[in-house]
Amino acid sequence: MSTVTITAADINKLRQATGAGMLDCRKALTETNGDFEAAIDWLRKQGQKVAAKRSDREAKEGVIIAKTSADHKTGFVVCISCETDFVSRNPEFVAFAQGIAEAAVSNNVKSAEELNEVSINGVKVSDLINDKLASIGEKIGVAKFERIEAAFVASYIHGANRMGVLVGMSEEAAEAGKDIAMQIAAMNPLAVDADSIPASTIERERAIVVETMKADPKMAGKPDEMIAKIAEGKLNAFFKEQTLLAQAFVKDGSKTVGDHLKSVSANLIVTEFKRVALG
């Protein structure tokens, strides 16, 4: 039993340092006889215990933050996952995710593993996550991380932090970048253009088209050359639907995304993009 008096100020100090609940902070200080550092360790151990207990649970909910560096030359998408939308919609949890994303930007991290080792106010992200685990009792973590570099990077967050998009561009074009990011969020292209789609994906799609056509009674007896020619036509339709530059521009269906970029600047191109969504 504790031999020291645990004050409200002590509890609040621990809560501010860890983000744990008031009752958990009181218990931590009681269990450690008022030792502040030991209380922090106690809370983190509780978080590790929660993580172990929840290891078989799926964390399908969460908060996605997309941000860029101040010079817009590097972009980051961070997904902090949790189990329920009750937690993911909580302003405190959203702020928690924002803080981790800001740490990714300020430290220019390259991976989720590196992000977990970054310190925020002297505490590693992995330890902050353990504190939050102990506080909310759900499995959480850095579930997804993406990063791109370009002459200009635009970022976009869609649907109350349920999706984040980064667009790398060849030159500064803030408005066009936002429009293209919204296009990617809505239409979910596979790649920038046909040349960006892996050959294995194209071959798999071609094989599916050919086999489907051969199974169609209407194609019975048709020569392989004809089937192959029709298959290429279907593949072109696939490229039109699944590649960004060939898609119809959502804000003006009379032109493609590629046409829109040219209308903004003759030299403006999309170098790459990342789209991260919950689920």
pLDDT digits (tens, 9 = 90+) for 100-122: 999 999 999 999 999 999 999 99
Tokens read off for 241: 């639907």
Which of the given ranges, 2-6, 56-60, 235-239, 246-250, has the highest pLDDT on average? Answer: 246-250
- pLDDT, greater one: 67 or 22: 67
Listed in sequence order, the residues at least 6 apart from 158 whose beta carbon sits closer than 8 Å to its beta carbon are: 164, 165, 182, 185
Fold classification of 61-185 (topology level): Tetrahydropterin Synthase; Chain A (3.30.479)
Q: What percent of the chain has pLDDT over 70?
A: 93
Residues 232-245 as b/e (b if ≥16 CB within 10 A, e otherwise) read eeebeebbeebbbb
Tell me how far CA of residue 186 lies from CA of 85, 135, 189, in angstroms.
Answer: 22, 35, 9
- Region 76-82: mean pLDDT is 96
Candidate from 170-174, 216-220, 248-252 with smallest mean pLDDT: 216-220
CA distance 133 to 125: 12
* Closest by CA position to 164, among listed 148, 177, 182: 182
Intervals of CATH 1.10.8.10 along the chain? 8-53
Listed in sequence order, the residues at least 6 apart from 121 whose beta carbon sits closer than 8 Å to its beta carbon are: none
Intervals of CATH 3.30.479.20 along the chain? 61-185
Residues 99-135 as b/e (b if ≥16 CB within 10 A, e otherwise) read bbbebbbeeebeebeebbebeeeebebbbbbbbbbbb
- The dotted CATH code for 8-53 is 1.10.8.10
For 119-176, how does the pLDDT look when each residue is reduced to its tens digit (9 = 90+)?
999 999 998 998 888 778 888 999 999 999 999 999 999 989 999 999 999 999 999 9
